[in-house]
Amino acid sequence: MFEDLTLQCADCGCDFVFTAGEQEFYSQRGFSNQPKRCNECRNKRKQFNKKPQKRLYDAVCSSCGCETQVPFRPMEGKRIFCRECFNNNR
């Protein structure tokens, strides 16, 4: 039913093969359009659109004393809670 197709990448212009297996997968998912980009350009685009991960800082919980990580720079004199203590103090 499906046959391999050779398509041209919209970004780099190189030819790539849209295999019969990939076409069947697209069909099962209800996708009606063929891919416009080769795998390499598709992966580059995914990496470009990826949100950067938040930096986590090491800290010690003010309540129970266990080590934890927080998404902000701990400041002296400010109380910091681990997830469990934070949820218990709400």
What span, in angstroms and rounded, lies between the C-alpha atoms of 33 and 30? 9
Asked if 13 and 38 count as a contact pair (C-beta separation under 8 A), the reply is: no
Residue 44 buriedness (CB in 10 A; 0-12 / 13-18 / 19+)? middle
Domain with 67, as residue range(s), is 57-88
Confidence check: pLDDT of 90 > 80: no
Number of separate domains in the chain:
2
- Residue 14 sits in the same domain as residue 36: yes
- 5 SS3 class: strand
- Residue 23 sits in the same domain as residue 39: yes
- Residue 21 sits in the same domain as residue 44: yes
- Residue 12 sits in the same domain as residue 41: yes
- Residue 18 sits in the same domain as residue 39: yes
Residues 36-69 pLDDT 10s: 999 999 999 988 877 778 899 999 999 999 999 9
Residues 7-25 pLDDT 10s: 999 999 999 999 999 999 9
- Residue 14 sits in the same domain as residue 41: yes
